[in-house]
Structure 1
Amino acid sequence: MEGKQDRFNGDTRVLHQRAVRIPLSDHEAERIFHENMMTVADARVRKAELLADPAISVLDAYEAERERIAESFERRLRRIAGDNYEEVAMAYHRGERDDRIGALAAYYFEGAWRIQQRTTITDMLFSPLILRYPDSFTMNIRFASGYTTRKSIRYESPEHSSEELDEYAETYYEESLYSQQQAADYLRETAEIIREEFPDPDESSFEDHQYGGIVSAGGRRGSVFSVMLERVEPDPDRFSDPVDEPSLVEAGPEARRTERDLLPDSEIVH
């Protein structure tokens, strides 16, 4: 990713109102999907532990999360397009190819590139949507202007503050630590939502795990960070055709609903 950023400046059309649909064709695929979602839940708990530790900065917790997301995108890119995924994505971006693999590579590459930009850019909200259906799951990679949603928990990072507080510095620091503790508690609670929405297929009936969904959001403005996660009910009538290979699909009614409910004041970039 690093070597391409000097000549790749993003293309919001790649992600706009689109999602990736991945087939769950057998029990092994279901098990892998479940394990991946448990990894997401575990990472949320790990971020909570970092935020709750006053010896660790918010920046360290934020960077650890960003690196995990970027690595997960790159792993998906390698599975889809091989080790030359950057060349595949850039060829699609330049209009030199227009096939399924190229489109998928460009989709994930755009997402990974924008995740990298969050290191230095504020007011960019990352709000992925993951939905489980009987024969597949979808992931919408979405970014929006702004840094929060109607339902986000906010917390403060003194390391990112540029204000001179003088006699209020100690109070500000204590209040910041308290907000971080509150956010850590929220992260732990919402990690359980992920576990409940995507139960182990070996320990639950198909009826109990054929549908599930979550939407999350995280952003930053200056020294203020935000986090949010809630359940989303998948539309059982969304897909009528079976799927046998990963492909891009329309964003879906759930995406429009969550954008309307959570991001009324933000512009969905894609």
Structure 2
Amino acid sequence: MNETQDRFTGDTKVLHQRAVRIPLPDTEAERVFHENMMTVAAARERKADLLADPAASVLDAYEAERDRIAEGFERRLRRIAGDEYEEAAMAYNRGDRDDRVGALAAYYFEGAWRMQQRATITDMMFFPLFLRYPDSFTMNIRFTSGYTTSKSVRYESPAHSSEELDEYAETYFDDCLYSQQQAAEYIRETAQIIRNEFPDPDETAFEDRKYGGVVSAGGRRGSVFSAMLDSVDPDPDRFSEPVAKPTLVEAGPEARRTERELLSGDEIVH
């Protein structure tokens, strides 16, 4: 996707108040979904390891998590739109096509493109929502203005600071390392929430796995970064009809609820 990044300018309209709904018709589909969510959990744990490592930078931690999640986006893009997913996404954004596959390609591609910018753009927070229902799951890719939520932990990166500290530099550096280690502990602990909410279908009864959900958030303002992850209860009445193919749907009541509970109200949600 890197070569296309130079030409792609983005269009948040494809993300706004929309989610992807993916059917889970059988145990094999549930296994794929479970594996994808475990990849997200593992990416979070790897980020925690790097944040806790004094020899690694915050950027190293961010890039490690981003790359793992981007791989999942690309796999999903290839399943939905084939190897030419980039052209499908761009054709949809240009208005040259207006079909389900083009819309899905544009949705995932927009999300991946914006996610890759997170560590270099201030006041843009990644705010995704994953929800499991009995016959499907949804992924709501959201970005907001601002950089934090009411439940986020914050940590600081000296590499992103523009302050001239002189004799306070060593103290500031130590304080940043401490904040990173505290955040690493939180990030590692909350990775377990993902594992709890989306258990292995081969080891868990259907009644215990048919609903689950997590919302997470990560952003940056200057040298200060934030992280948050919490469980979400899916609305059992959200869908009245089954779904046969991946499709875009409205964001849903859970999206509105998490925005209301976690954001201050001043942020713009894309």
| TM-score normalised by structure 2 residue count | 0.97
Structure 2 counterpart of 1:218, one-letter code: G
Q: What is the aligned residue count? A: 270
Deviations, residues 47-66 of structure 1 (Å, cap 9, x unaligned) = 11111110111111111122
State the AA in 2 paired with 1:258. T
Letter aligned with residue 234 of structure 1: P
Shift of 1:168: 1.5
Alignment of 1:89-168 (within 5 A): 89-168=89-168
SS in 1 for 2:80: helix
Distance across 1 between alignment mates of 2:60 and 2:54: 12
Match of 1:210 in 2: 210
CA distance in 2, matches of 1:70, 1:269: 21
Q: Which residue of 2 aligns with 1:189?
A: 189
Cα deviations by residue, 1:134-179 (Å, 9 ceiling, x for unpaired) = 0000000000001111110000111111111122112111111111
Counterparts of 1:58 and 1:233, CA distance in 2: 31
Per-residue CA shift, 1:106-144, capped at 9, x if unaligned? 101111111122242111100100000000000000000
Report the aligned-residue RMSD: 1.2
Alignment of 1:69-80 (within 5 A): 69-80=69-80
Deviations 1:179-231 (A, max 9, x none): 11110110111011111111111111111000000000001111111000000
The structural deviation recorded for 1:94 is: 1.2
Alpha-carbon contact 2:211-2:234 (below 8 Å) kept? yes
Task: Report the CA distance shift for 1:246/1:224 in structure 2 as closer, same or farther (over 3 A).
Answer: same
How far residue 266 of structure 1 moved from its aligned partner, in angstroms, is: 4.3
Alignment of 1:56-71 (within 5 A): 56-71=56-71
Measured in 1, the distance between the counterparts of 2:188 and 2:12 equals 32
Structure 2: which 5+ runs fail to align?
none
Partner of 1:48: 48
In the other structure, the counterpart of 1:228 is 228
Contact 2:36–2:72 at 8 Å: present in 1 too? no
Q: Is the contact made by 2:37 and 2:194 (CA closer than 8 Å) also made in structure 1?
A: yes
Q: Using the TM superposition, name which of 232-241 and 6-15 deviates more.
A: 6-15
The answer as to whether partners of 1:144 and 1:266 remain within 8 angstroms in 2 is no
Q: Distance in 2 between matches of 1:163 and 1:265?
A: 30
Give the AA of the match of 1:242: P
Distance 2:135 2:121 in 1: 38
Which shows bigger deviation, 95-104 or 4-13? Answer: 4-13
Separation in 2 of the partners of 1:196 and 1:163? 42
Post-superposition shift, 1:7?
3.6
Could you tell me which residue of structure 1 aligns to residue 83 of structure 2? Answer: 83
Q: What's the CA shift for 1:2? A: 3.0
Q: In structure 2, the residue corresponding to 1:117 is in which secondary structure?
A: coil
State the shift of 1:67 in Å.
1.9
What's the TM-score, normalizing by structure 1? Answer: 0.97
Q: Which amino acid aligns with 1:227?
A: A
* Residue in 1 that maps onto 2:268: 268
Equivalent AA in structure 2 for residue 156 of structure 1: E
Query: Deviation digits for residues 232-267 of structure 1, max 9, x if unmatched?
Result: 000000000001110000000000000111112443
Corresponding residue number in structure 2 for 1:20: 20
Q: Which 10-residue stretch deviates more, 54-63 or 137-146?
A: 54-63
